[in-house]
């Protein structure tokens, strides 16, 4: 480990496009070999008439079948294992945000490589062994806990498994242990800041915080900037999903110009969710990932349902691993209201532009007299609840700004700080009470 190097794994991080393609070709062949032991894949490869020898470039992945979350459910719990269970050492289950849980198996090598991926990301944003890393994310089945734990330890940092919640204790740990870096979901960090304010704690003076890893849930650029301003701390977007290991799949570098997805570990495709054909760089589509190193449960062309686009394939940081835009949301997060498609992140983006508003908000969809309506409740930052006129004006401007963005007029309700529910894990932003969905 050369602490002065900007790269933890220079041999992989600085590969040229040509070298990435060569490595991916080899690794895709190996992955296919492993998949042949899974009847599900063996059958699908046979139907597609493709063998590992047919893979001449990473683009040949397009000859292979897609894998969906439904396939994971249909083969629950161990149907996609590519090694005997005796070789697996850990099982994680996806948090089931959108349905039944799915099971993901890991061999010891899978866990080692996952720790390396996370360590690489944390190194990339300037963390070194003398940093103190507090992991304020849920532990247990949620991969954000153990994933960051092992990654931060692999880097050599003093790692505090603080887990989610209990804000007073989080703040005490930060002060007492000299925490310099925190991983948490963004919605929780904004809550933590409010508690700091209530406690008279100034993160700039009273803590040594300098780096945040935020992720696990969609959040807007405006939300990130707000977090950075509140704490005076750089916040880097971290993307992960249980099916691909967990956190560590994609991460922003210090340029903060998109997420580098690690192409030594994954083949990244962006496809049109309807036609399943690749979309050109710059166009939004569904992210499809093929794992290249996973042993216990390799997945081929996994449809993540996350919507994003390619921003570029080079970067001033010297890494040529593809840069993807922050996730717009999952295809199933999309709300269809009176025929208009809306993502929660669009609402968030607008709300965050109002400094008078706090960060917690809730979107409720209802059917009233056969009309679909959207109510946006948002907490106010300053306590001027008595100033009726000011509240009314603010409500009007927020409504207008939202209308400009989503082309529908929502009902905006400003509520006092601390009144909307806060979840310890991923934030629940939308409650759909409509009679008919879509």
Judged by the rule CB under 5 A, the positions of this chain that interact with Zn ion are 253, 255, 315, 317, 319
Q: How far is the CB of 163 from ligand ADP (least distance, A)?
A: 15
In this complex, which beta carbon is closest to ligand ADP, that of residue 127 or of residue 245?
Answer: 245
8-state DSSP, 429: -
CA distance 332 to 358: 26
Nearest partner of 102 among 304, 323, 396, judged by Cα: 304
In this complex, which beta carbon is closest to ligand ADP, that of residue 191 or of residue 328?
Answer: 328
The item of ligand ADP, Zn ion, none sharing an interface with residue 315, based on CB under 5 to 8 Å by kind, is: Zn ion
In this complex, which beta carbon is closest to ligand ADP, that of residue 117 or of residue 207?
Answer: 117
8-state DSSP, 123: H
Q: Which long-range contacts (CB under 8 A, 24 or more apart) does 381-385 make?
A: 381/355, 381/356, 381/357, 381/417, 382/356, 383/416, 383/417, 385/416
Sheet with 181-184, strands from edge to edge, namely 158-160, 132-135, 181-184, 211-215, 234-241, 246-252, 259-261, 323-324, 310-312
Binding site for ligand ADP (CB under 6 A): 94-97, 143, 215-218, 237-242, 304, 306, 327, 330
The item of Zn ion, ligand ADP, none sharing an interface with residue 97, based on CB under 5 to 8 Å by kind, is: ligand ADP
The item of Zn ion, ligand ADP, none sharing an interface with residue 237, based on CB under 5 to 8 Å by kind, is: ligand ADP
Query: 């000011």: which residue's tokens?
Result: 390
Give whole-number Cα distances, 70 to 41, 74, 100, 290, in Å. Answer: 14, 6, 10, 16
Q: How far is the CB of 130 from Zn ion (least distance, A)?
A: 23
Q: How far is the CB of 349 from ligand ADP (least distance, A)?
A: 14
The item of Zn ion, ligand ADP, none sharing an interface with residue 95, based on CB under 5 to 8 Å by kind, is: ligand ADP
In this complex, which beta carbon is closest to ligand ADP, that of residue 190 or of residue 373?
Answer: 190
Q: How far is the CB of 237 from ligand ADP (least distance, A)?
A: 5
The item of Zn ion, ligand ADP, none sharing an interface with residue 285, based on CB under 5 to 8 Å by kind, is: none
Cα within 13 Å of Cα(311), Cβ side? 17
Structure tokens at 386: 């008595």
Sheet with 329-330, strands from edge to edge, namely 266-271, 285-291, 302-308, 329-330
The item of ligand ADP, Zn ion, none sharing an interface with residue 297, based on CB under 5 to 8 Å by kind, is: none
In this complex, which beta carbon is closest to Zn ion, that of residue 314 or of residue 397?
Answer: 314
> What phi, psi does 383 have (nearest 5°)?
-90, 80
Structure tokens at 244: 């691909």
Residues 269 and 288 sit within 8 Å (Cβ to Cβ)? yes
How do 181-184 and 132-135 pair as beta strands?
A: parallel
The item of Zn ion, ligand ADP, none sharing an interface with residue 107, based on CB under 5 to 8 Å by kind, is: none
Q: How far is the CB of 233 from ligand ADP (least distance, A)?
A: 17
In this complex, which beta carbon is closest to ligand ADP, that of residue 151 or of residue 218?
Answer: 218
Q: How far is the CB of 260 from Zn ion (least distance, A)?
A: 6
The item of Zn ion, ligand ADP, none sharing an interface with residue 124, based on CB under 5 to 8 Å by kind, is: none
In this complex, which beta carbon is closest to ligand ADP, that of residue 152 or of residue 324?
Answer: 324
Q: How far is the CB of 82 from ligand ADP (least distance, A)?
A: 19
Q: How far is the CB of 426 from ligand ADP (least distance, A)?
A: 6
Distance of alpha carbon 406 from its chain centroid, rounded? Answer: 24
CA distance 143 to 100: 17
8-state DSSP, 58: G
Collapsed DSSP state (helix, strand, coil) of residue 394: helix
Q: How far is the CB of 242 from ligand ADP (least distance, A)?
A: 3
In this complex, which beta carbon is closest to ligand ADP, that of residue 45 or of residue 261?
Answer: 261
Residues 243 and 114 sit within 8 Å (Cβ to Cβ)? no
DSSP 68-108: -HHHHHHTTTTTT-SS-GGGEEEEEE---TTSS--EEEEEH
In this complex, which beta carbon is closest to Zn ion, that of residue 256 or of residue 366?
Answer: 256
The item of Zn ion, ligand ADP, none sharing an interface with residue 317, based on CB under 5 to 8 Å by kind, is: Zn ion
The item of ligand ADP, Zn ion, none sharing an interface with residue 150, based on CB under 5 to 8 Å by kind, is: none
Q: How far is the CB of 142 from Zn ion (least distance, A)?
A: 27
């Amino acid at each position: 480990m050369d602490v002065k190097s900007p790269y933890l794994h220079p041999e992989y991080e600085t590969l040229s496009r040509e070298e990435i393609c060569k490595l991916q070709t080899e690794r895709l062949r190996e992955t296919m070999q492993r998949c042949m032991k899974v009847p599900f894949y063996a059958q699908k490869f046979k139907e597609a008439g493709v063998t590992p020898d047919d893979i001449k470039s990473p683009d040949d992945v397009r000859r292979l079948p897609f894998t969906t979350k439904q396939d994971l459910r249909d083969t629950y719990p161990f149907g996609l294992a590519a090694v005997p269970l005796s070789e697996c050492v850990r099982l994680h289950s996806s948090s089931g945000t959108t349905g039944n849980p799915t099971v993901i198996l890991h061999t010891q090598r899978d866990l080692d490589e996952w720790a390396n991926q996370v360590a690489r990301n944390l190194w990339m944003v300037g963390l070194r062994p003398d940093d103190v890393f507090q992991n304020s994310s849920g532990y247990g089945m949620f991969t954000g806990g153990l994933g960051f734990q092992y990654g931060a330890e692999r880097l050599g940092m003093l790692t505090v498994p603080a887990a989610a919640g209990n804000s007073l204790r989080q703040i005490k740990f930060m002060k007492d242990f000299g925490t310099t870096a925190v991983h948490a979901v963004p919605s929780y960090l904004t809550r933590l800041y409010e508690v700091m304010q209530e406690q008279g704690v100034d993160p700039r003076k009273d803590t040594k915080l300098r780096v945040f890893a935020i992720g696990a849930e969609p959040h807007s650029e405006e939300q990130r900037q707000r977090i950075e301003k509140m704490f005076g701390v750089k916040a880097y977007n971290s993307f992960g999903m249980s099916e691909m290991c967990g956190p560590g799949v994609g991460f922003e570098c210090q340029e903060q110009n998109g997420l580098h997805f690690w192409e030594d570990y994954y083949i990244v495709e962006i496809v049109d969710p309807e036609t399943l054909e690749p979309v050109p760089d710059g166009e939004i589509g569904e992210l499809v990932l093929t794992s290249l190193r996973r042993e216990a449960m390799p997945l081929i062309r996994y449809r993540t349902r996350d919507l994003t686009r390619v921003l570029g394939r080079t970067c001033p940081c010297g890494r040529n691993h593809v840069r993807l835009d922050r996730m717009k949301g999952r295809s199933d997060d999309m709300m269809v209201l009176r025929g208009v498609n809306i993502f929660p992140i669009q609402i968030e983006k607008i709300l965050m532009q109002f400094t008078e508003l706090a960060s917690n908000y809730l979107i409720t969809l209802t059917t009233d007299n056969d009309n679909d309506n959207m109510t946006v409740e948002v907490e106010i930052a300053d306590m001027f609840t008595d100033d009726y006129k000011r509240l009314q004006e603010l409500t009007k401007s927020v409504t207008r700004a939202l209308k400009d963005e989503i082309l529908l007029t929502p009902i905006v309700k400003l509520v006092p700080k601390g009144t909307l529910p806060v979840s310890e894990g991923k934030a629940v932003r939308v409650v759909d009470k409509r009679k008919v969905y879509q």
